[in-house]
Amino acid sequence: MNHDHSTPLRAPDDCETGVIVFSGATGTGDRRRDETIRQLRSAGVRNGWHFVAVTPDAHEAGVDGGQVSSHRAGDTRPLASRPPDGHRFDALRDDHVRRELESRRIRRLVLCGGHTNHEVASTARTALDQGYEVVVVAETTRPGTTRTRDGTCSPPQDVQAITLATLERLGATVTSAAALLSGSNESVVPQHVAALYTDSVGEADFVHCDPLPSPCLCRRAALVVVNVREEYPAPEFGDRSHNNAEELIERLVAAWRAADRTVVHTRHPSALLDRDGSIRQGSAVVPRRGEFVVEAATQNAFFDTDLGDRLDAAGVTQLVVVGLPAQGAVAATARAALEREYDVVLVEDAIAGFDTTDAEGNTVAGTEAHWVECTSLAAMGASLTELREVERLVRRPNPPR
C-alpha cells in the first residue's frame, strides 16, 4: 500500500490556476461538453492558466493510464499505469500530476470533464484536503455509473445533482464555464437540486445493470468505525437516513471483538453539518485498549495520519466500513482506501447520510445522498452488504484469506 503524509498548504496570494481536464482520447464523448472545454482552454491560455490533461484509456470511469501534459510548458509525461485490480480515480495520487502542480505554484484547481461522482469527486476531495481552492465546471462533467445489490440504479440526473451538492458543501465552488470566466463563480447547485423534486422521474429513468455479488470476508479484514460520535444523532443536526445506524454499529463492533479482529475508530471534523461548536464531543462506540484510534484533520482518515502504516503492519487487506456521515468522512475514507488498493466493503444499513440544504433552501435528503455515495463507491470497486450478512460471515470459524 502507498501512503501520504503531506500537510495541507494554503494558497499564497500569487498562486497560479491549474485546469485538470478529464477526457477520453478524443474528448468527453459529448459535442457540447467538448466545445465548452475548448472555449475554457482558449480563455485559460489567454489568462495564463496551466492545463493538465488526464486521458483514461478504456475504463468507463477513473484513470487507467494516459498522459499528463502542461500546455504552457509544452511537455508531455506518461501517467503511472493502473495496477491490476487496482483503482485510479484521484488524479492527485499521481506523482507526475502533483509535481506539475507544485512546480508551477498552482493552488487553484479547476476540474473539467470526467465523471462527476468518480474521478471528479475523488480528485476534488483530495484537493480540498490539501488546501487547494477547487472549482468544478458543472456542465463539462457527467454522472458516472452506480452499482447496487439488486441491479436498479439511480437516474443519472440525480447522481449529478447530489454529487455536485455534496462537493459544494465540502468547500468546492460548483459553477458554469461562463460564470468562471466572468469571475462571478455563481453556484449552479440550486438549479440542479431544485430539479430533483420538480422534474418527473419514471421507471424508464432508472438504470439497470447486473446485481453486485455478495462479498466475502477475509481473515485480515479490519472494521473501520467512521466518526461515530454523540452529537450526530442530536435533533439540531436535522433529518438523516438510517436512524438506527449507531445501534447496528454497536452490534457489529461486539461481534468483531468477539472474533478477536482488528477494530479501527476514526474521528473527523464535521464539514457537512452546521454547529456552533458547543456540542460535546464523545464516542457512542468507545474504543478499547489495543484498538486503532485515528484523529483526522480532514474527512479522509488516511490523509496526514499513520492509518495506512498501521493497517499494513497488522497485515490488513480488507476494510469493512461503517459510520457517518455517508457524504463526508465515510465516502472520503472509502475512496482513499480504494485508491490504496484495499478491498472495501460498505455495510449500507450501518452508514447514515444527513440532509443538507443549499443557500437557496433546497434540501438534499440524507437517504438520497447515502444511496448515491454508496452506489458510486460500488461502481468504483467497493462491495455492498448489510449488517446481518456481515454478522453471519464474521462468526464463520474459517473465513477465506
Q: CATH class for domain 221-394?
A: alpha beta
pLDDT, position 52: 85
Instruction: Give the start-end residues of each E strand in 268-317.
Output: 292-295
Q: Are strands 292-295 and 262-267 parallel, antiparallel or unpaired?
A: parallel
Residue closest to 344 by CA, chosen among 286, 264, 253? 264
Work out the average pLDDT over 68-91: 46
Region for 257 from its dihedrals, namely left if φ exceeds 0, alpha if ψ lies in -120 to 50, beta otherwise: alpha
Is the CB of residue 130 less than 8 Å from the CB of residue 44?
A: no
What class, spelled out in words, does domain 16-205 have in CATH? alpha beta
Strands 221-226 and 262-267: parallel
> Is it the case that residue 5 has pLDDT exceeding 60?
no
* pLDDT at residue 291 in the model: 93
> ∠13-17-20 over CA atoms, to 5°?
150
Q: Residue 12: helix, strand or coil by DSSP?
A: coil
**What's the average model confidence in pLDDT over 30-48?**
91
Contacts of 283 by beta carbon, 8 Å cutoff, 6+ apart:
228, 229, 230, 265, 267
**What value does the mean pLDDT take over residues 92-110?**
89
Q: What is the mean pLDDT of the segment spanning 200-209?
A: 61
Q: What is the DSSP letter of 140?
A: G
Look-up of cell digits 452488504? 385
Interval 312-316 mean pLDDT: 96
Contacts by 254-261 with C-beta closer than 8 Å and gap 24+?
255/390, 255/391, 255/394, 255/395, 256/223, 256/394, 257/288, 259/394, 259/395, 261/221, 261/222, 261/223, 261/394
pLDDT in tens, 260-301: 999 999 998 765 554 443 333 444 578 999 999 999 999 999
Q: Which pLDDT score, from 0 to 100, does residue 229 have? A: 64
* Bridge partners of residue 39, in order along the sequence: none
Q: What is the pLDDT of residue 154?
A: 81
Q: Where are the domains of the chain?
A: 16-205, 221-394
Other Cβ atoms closer than 10 A to 396: 11
Q: What angle do CA 333, 338, 339 make, to 5 degrees?
A: 95
| pLDDT given for residue 95 in this prediction | 83
Q: What are 167-198's pLDDT values in tens digits?
A: 999 999 999 999 999 999 999 999 999 888 76
- Whether the bond into 78 is cis, omega within 30 of 0: no
CA dist., res. 16 & res. 10, Å (int): 13
Q: pLDDT class for 85, splitting at 50, 70, 90? A: very low
DSSP track, 212-272? PPPPP--TTEEEEEE--BTTTTSGGG--BS-TTHHHHHHHHHHHHHHTT-EEEEEE---TT
Question: What nine digits make up the cell of 329?
Answer: 468522512
Phi/psi-derived region of residue 105, left when phi > 0, alpha when psi is between -120 and 50, beta in every other case: left
Q: Check the CA dihedral 110-126-132-164 and report its sign.
A: positive
Q: By CB neighbour count within 10 A (0-12 exposed, 13-18 middle, 19+ buried), where does 108 fall?
A: middle
CA distance 171 to 299: 12
The chain-wide mean pLDDT, for the chain, equals 81
Q: What does the alpha-carbon distance between residue 110 and residue 136 come to, in Å, rounded to a whole number?
A: 6
Q: Which residues contact 377 (CB under 8 A, 6 or more apart)?
A: 331, 334, 335, 338, 344, 346
pTM: 0.84
Residue 285 near residue 227 (C-beta atoms within 8 A): no
HEC sequence for 93-127: HCHHHHHHHHHCCEEEEEEEECEHHHHHHHHHHHH
Per-residue pLDDT at 66 exceeds 60: no
Q: Encode pLDDT of 345-356 as tens digits.
A: 999 999 999 888
Residue 136's pLDDT is what? 99
Assess whether pLDDT exceeds 70 at residue 147: yes
Whether the predicted pLDDT of 326 surpasses 70: yes
Distance, CA of 315 to CA of 277 (rounded, Å): 38
Examine domains 16-205 and 221-394 and report if their fold is the same.
yes
